[in-house]
Amino acid sequence: MLRLFALALLLCATIARAEPTAIVLGHADVALTGPWRFAPGDDPRRAAPDFDDSAWERIDLMPEPGAHDADVGLTDYVPGWWSRGHRGYAGYAWYRLRVAADAPSGERLALLAPAYVEDAFEVYWNGRLIGGSGDFSATPPTVYGARPQRFEVPADAANATSVLAIRVWMRPGAEREPDAGGIHIAPRIGLTPAIALRYESQWRQTILGYIVDAVEPAAFVLLAILALALAIARPARDAPFLRRLAVALLLTAALRANQAVFFWSSIESAAAFDIVKYTLLEPLGLAAWIVAWRR
């Protein structure tokens, strides 16, 4: 009898695993925490809705209460694949989720992209590319700073079962946290107005997280202007030091401002950011400070 009961439970669990994530959408949006199917590696066929992912791992993107990242405090943070049995892995990986979204008739759905992914990603809805971050036409993909994005979902998505697939690229060799890898904040689905509000909220959070990288450069520029003004007023004795000090302050301002440029826009790729920061601005800034204080 106990064996029959255990088999019945196992059968129910198997049926439950095959069911899509059912979502009833009102005026709110819903976090797609899964459980997702996950597998390292890359294959374009993984975007197809009929691809067999039954043997893949299951990953839950449900955050702990109050969870946030260690950098700027983005909420709903979850650990990446390094803490889920794939320590040290860098490269491609895929996430897949079956979604049954029930929305009012005539309403359009939108998707809020995962706000924090290491490092680039593409989002597919039933095999159709609807958006992403980074350029996957390059080898390896070109990476840009993670920032909030929203994508329109195909019109026939409401009241139908669909497959959401996310292709992720994590570049090797970069300095990482122990829980690095892949999606750290679950995407969200909802009616277009609800997603628009959540999108604005994520942008406010992102701007506040990096606002210091915009305020500090402004302060350094003002100090540089003050140093140059004093150099003009006291040319005999202090002018050489003050001019060198102004140069050091301006280089420091550029270094800090470059952080905001990278995380608030797609002007600069991750590779360009590394060159500008580590090859140009940091060495030149350090040299300028040494020269100024030596004087």
**What pLDDT sits at residue 5?**
33
Percent of the chain with pLDDT over 70: 91
- Tell me which range, 154-158, 207-211, 233-237, 265-269, is most confidently predicted by mean pLDDT: 265-269
Please report which confidence band the pLDDT of residue 11 belongs to, taking 50, 70 and 90 as the band edges: very low
How many residues are listed for the chain in this entry? 295
pLDDT of residue 7 exceeding 50:
no
pLDDT band at 21 (very low <50, low <70, confident <90, very high): low
DSSP 58: E
pLDDT greater than 60 at residue 24 = no
Determine the average pLDDT of the residues in 84-103.
93
Looking at per-residue pLDDT, the higher value among 71 and 255 belongs to: 255
Instruction: Please report which confidence band the pLDDT of residue 9 belongs to, taking 50, 70 and 90 as the band edges.
Output: very low
Q: What is the mean pLDDT of residues 235-256?
A: 89
Higher pLDDT, 239 or 252: 252
* Banded pLDDT at 72 (limits 50, 70, 90): confident
Q: What is the pLDDT of residues 246-291, one digit of tens each?
A: 999 999 999 999 988 898 888 899 999 999 999 999 999 999 999 9
When pLDDT is averaged across residues 115-125 and rounded to a whole number, the result is: 95
The tens digit of pLDDT for each residue in 139-180 reads 999 999 888 999 998 887 777 889 999 999 999 988 899 999
| Per-residue confidence (pLDDT) for residue 102, from 0 to 100 | 78
Model confidence band, residue 23 (pLDDT cutoffs 50, 70, 90): low
* Cα–Cα distance for residue pair 220/114, rounded to 1 Å: 34
pLDDT at 254: 95
- Position 26 pLDDT exceeds 60: no
